[in-house]
Chains A and B, each alone.
Chain A
């Protein structure tokens, strides 16, 4: 009787472990799924459009009669909005992280951090609305040349959206720096800024870089803000005042139309998705490794 009970118990343990293992394996299956789906359609795409043309042609006009499939204009749009976004988010996010970690009292930190989280939780379609109907009209008062759709206001709003990401992850990294180091620096008469910039920042640097890379990856993949406010005109320009198109916005544009399954136009979004995936994948892995190295030093 007892033996049987033991047997059942043991079998149950093993079954549950198998089941849970299957759950965690699902994440690998998801990655595999992403890669296979993208690869499958992308290979078909490259049967019709040579890779070199995709990478070097300076025009992207898959919907025109005169078709060109050069990803450079889309890449350029993505690069431009990302650049604007991180030039807003990194300085502001870092300054805020230094303030929260080295200057602010516990009370202020406890109030501000959840509020910052809300900033990150606002749906991106809301930011898109804000960029198109508030920021662009506002900027137009200062820059009359600004088009109704442009990379400037979408980039700025995107930057605001990722401030909490940089701020919160960098603050975590800075707070992981041992208190002893701060005490040592204060004991020789440093003020807070000196402790922050000369001791804490360098010690937390790999964690901060990891956070910044993650933010860049996030900006590259951001979709709705640029789909709403940046325009639908793929072009090779670094002018932030004119309409452009990013890789993500192009995918949305095609998905909204009724491009039939199996056509070349349909496959373009997978080729675009593949490029996007590769870029963010490299950045994500790089960020993860850096973060892990940082944690190994301090935890």
Chain B
């Protein structure tokens, strides 16, 4: 199987500070890859480098190569806006737009030139169903999205991402601001989405990583210490540092 991402020696810097040091990973399609590690290890920076959302941060730059279907996404002629459409992202804190539920999802479609009402209606409904939110909001699509609960907002953000049919979805600690019930719903969702999407999830919650992922990578101080099948990482890690982290022996 051709990997979706081939990452070669990716380093990342905020100004002069190196936060990622020569990361090498291949990400396989239709799998869930979890990125784990203590806070400040660079896992968020890593995932945010994959759709170049970190370009928004001043003084941020990268070295190395990130191949997405054999195209280096940091190459000069890459259209980052189109790239981001194909690599969706769900953030740590739910960030629905201050618009109606319907418009939140329709937004992505409209900016990509979907204009017919019927088509948008259909995709909005489909996306909300896929995000397991439809039953809760189908009677209040015109309501402002900010009135939803945190867990609902996060599922709305997932629906928003699904609507434009990306191939990859990046989850940056999607449950860190949510209660356990909402977390369970999102995890269930990720499990289902795996059928159609390639998923990368950053989490500080090891149980979560063990529950949802097929592959796991352990980051420490900007380096990738170990990358393997999730059960290997959790049951038989090769590196002492991974083992220490998994067993909770440090930070």
Interface string of B67-99 (1 = CB under 8 A from A): 000000000000001111110110101011111
Chain A residues with CB under 8 A of B164: 188-189
CA A240 to CA B97, docked complex, whole Å: 43
Chain A residues with CB under 8 A of B101: none
Name the interface size band of chain B. 20 to 34
Q: Which of B30-38, B104-112, B228-236 contacts A (4 or more CB under 8 A)?
A: B104-112
Chain A residues with CB under 8 A of B81: 186, 189-191
The answer to the question of A106 belonging to the interface, with a C-beta cut-off of 8 Å to chain B, is yes
The answer to the question of A202 belonging to the interface, with a C-beta cut-off of 8 Å to chain B, is yes
Interface string of A169-190 (1 = CB under 8 A from B): 0000000001111111111111
A180-B93, A181-B95, A181-B97 known; A187+B53 contact, CB < 8 A: yes
Tell whether, in the assembled complex, residue A187 and residue B84 are in contact, meaning their CB atoms are under 8 Å apart: yes
CA A202 to CA B103, docked complex, whole Å: 13
Tell whether, in the assembled complex, residue A183 and residue B107 are in contact, meaning their CB atoms are under 8 Å apart: no
A189-B84, A190-B81, A198-B107 known; A184+B56 contact, CB < 8 A: no
The answer to the question of B6 belonging to the interface, with a C-beta cut-off of 8 Å to chain A, is no
Tell whether, in the assembled complex, residue A198 and residue B111 are in contact, meaning their CB atoms are under 8 Å apart: yes
The answer to the question of B157 belonging to the interface, with a C-beta cut-off of 8 Å to chain A, is yes
A188-B108, A189-B81, A189-B85 known; A183+B91 contact, CB < 8 A: yes
Partner of B95, one of A178, A189, A198, A202: A178
The answer to the question of A203 belonging to the interface, with a C-beta cut-off of 8 Å to chain B, is yes
- Distance to closest chain B CB from A102 (angstroms): 10
CA A191 to CA B82, docked complex, whole Å: 9
The answer to the question of A263 belonging to the interface, with a C-beta cut-off of 8 Å to chain B, is no
Tell whether, in the assembled complex, residue B98 and residue A189 are in contact, meaning their CB atoms are under 8 Å apart: no
- Distance to closest chain B CB from A183 (angstroms): 6
The answer to the question of B160 belonging to the interface, with a C-beta cut-off of 8 Å to chain A, is yes
Tell whether, in the assembled complex, residue A188 and residue B111 are in contact, meaning their CB atoms are under 8 Å apart: yes
Chain A residues with CB under 8 A of B58: 105-106
Tell whether, in the assembled complex, residue B96 and residue A184 are in contact, meaning their CB atoms are under 8 Å apart: yes
Interface string of B114-149 (1 = CB under 8 A from A): 000000000000000000000000000000000000
The answer to the question of A194 belonging to the interface, with a C-beta cut-off of 8 Å to chain B, is yes
Tell whether, in the assembled complex, residue A189 and residue B82 are in contact, meaning their CB atoms are under 8 Å apart: yes
Which residues between 102 and 120 of chain A lie within 8 Å of chain B, taking CB atoms? 105-106
Q: How many A-B residue pairs have CB under 8 A?
A: 70
- Distance to closest chain A CB from B14 (angstroms): 13
CA A203 to CA B163, docked complex, whole Å: 22
CB-nearest residue of chain A relative to B105?
A: A188
Chain B residues with CB under 8 A of A189: 81-86, 108, 111-112, 164
Partner of B97, one of A105, A106, A184, A191: A184
Which residues between 25 and 72 of chain B lie within 8 Å of chain A, taking CB atoms? 51, 53, 56, 58
Which residues between 205 and 240 of chain A lie within 8 Å of chain B, taking CB atoms? none
Tell whether, in the assembled complex, residue A188 and residue B93 are in contact, meaning their CB atoms are under 8 Å apart: no
CB-nearest residue of chain B relative to A195?
A: B111
Interface string of A139-169 (1 = CB under 8 A from B): 0000000000000000000000000000000
The answer to the question of A264 belonging to the interface, with a C-beta cut-off of 8 Å to chain B, is no
Give the dominant DSSP class at A's interface.
helix
Tell whether, in the assembled complex, residue B107 and residue A187 are in contact, meaning their CB atoms are under 8 Å apart: no
CA A178 to CA B95, docked complex, whole Å: 9
CA A182 to CA B55, docked complex, whole Å: 12
Tell whether, in the assembled complex, residue B56 and residue A203 are in contact, meaning their CB atoms are under 8 Å apart: no
CA A277 to CA B98, docked complex, whole Å: 37
Chain B residues with CB under 8 A of A191: 81, 111
Tell whether, in the assembled complex, residue A184 and residue B112 are in contact, meaning their CB atoms are under 8 Å apart: no
CB-nearest residue of chain A relative to B92?
A: A180
CA A178 to CA B96, docked complex, whole Å: 11
A180-B95, A181-B97, A203-B98 known; A187+B89 contact, CB < 8 A: yes
CB-nearest residue of chain B relative to A180?
A: B95
Chain A residues with CB under 8 A of B110: 198
- Distance to closest chain B CB from A158 (angstroms): 34
The answer to the question of B161 belonging to the interface, with a C-beta cut-off of 8 Å to chain A, is yes
Tell whether, in the assembled complex, residue B161 and residue A188 are in contact, meaning their CB atoms are under 8 Å apart: yes
The answer to the question of A135 belonging to the interface, with a C-beta cut-off of 8 Å to chain B, is no
A185-B107, A186-B53, A188-B85 known; A199+B161 contact, CB < 8 A: no
Chain A residues with CB under 8 A of B97: 181, 184-185, 199, 203
Tell whether, in the assembled complex, residue A188 and residue B88 are in contact, meaning their CB atoms are under 8 Å apart: yes
- Distance to closest chain B CB from A113 (angstroms): 16
7 tightest Cβ-Cβ pairs between the two chains A and B: A189-B85, A180-B95, A188-B108, A187-B89, A184-B95, A191-B81, A189-B84
Please name 8 further chain A to chain B contacts, defined as beta carbons within 8 Å, in addition to the given A187-B53, A187-B89, sorted by A numbering: A183-B56, A184-B97, A186-B56, A188-B161, A189-B84, A191-B111, A194-B111, A202-B98
